[in-house]
Amino acid sequence: MTEPDFSRGVDGMLPAIAQDINTHQVLMFAWMNREAYLETVASGFATYFSRSRNRLWRKGEESGHRQRVSELRIDCDADCILIVVEQTGAACHEGYASCFFRKLHDHQFVIDQSVLIDPKDAYQSPHG
């Protein structure tokens, strides 16, 4: 097999999960169309498809918080992509290392991680 099965995607996009190579934290979830996937492979840096901006999203293009891809995996059905990355800065646009900074506790989601970077220092716009 040479590439994921984009015919199984949602509007041509497959789910993509980024995991930190050092901390093993799941950092974020996003989508890749075939173009984003091919650019990720060619460049060695995570590129997603931004549904809100309807264009390729080179992760960190604004903030500098890029993800260098160390491993790229697909699942048994070849319809989900896992990248293991070296994360520069913070994966989350809210400044947390991981987007999954809220944990269910007593029927409420509570923040149990610390902000690494003030988002105001990294972004002009809400995502990047």
| Burial of 18: CB neighbours in 10 Å, binned 0-12, 13-18, 19+ | buried
C-beta of 11: minimal distance to a copy of itself in Å?
9
Q: Which residues, 6 or more positions from 70, have their beta carbon under 8 angstroms from its beta carbon?
A: 21, 83, 84, 85, 86
C-beta of 64: minimal distance to a copy of itself in Å?
19
Closer by beta carbon to a copy of itself, 56 or else 115: 115
Where do contacts with a copy of itself occur on this chain (CB under 8 A)? Answer: 1-2, 10, 15, 17, 19, 24, 26, 28-29, 41, 71-78, 80, 82, 92-94, 96, 99-104, 107-109
Closer by beta carbon to a copy of itself, 66 or else 84: 84
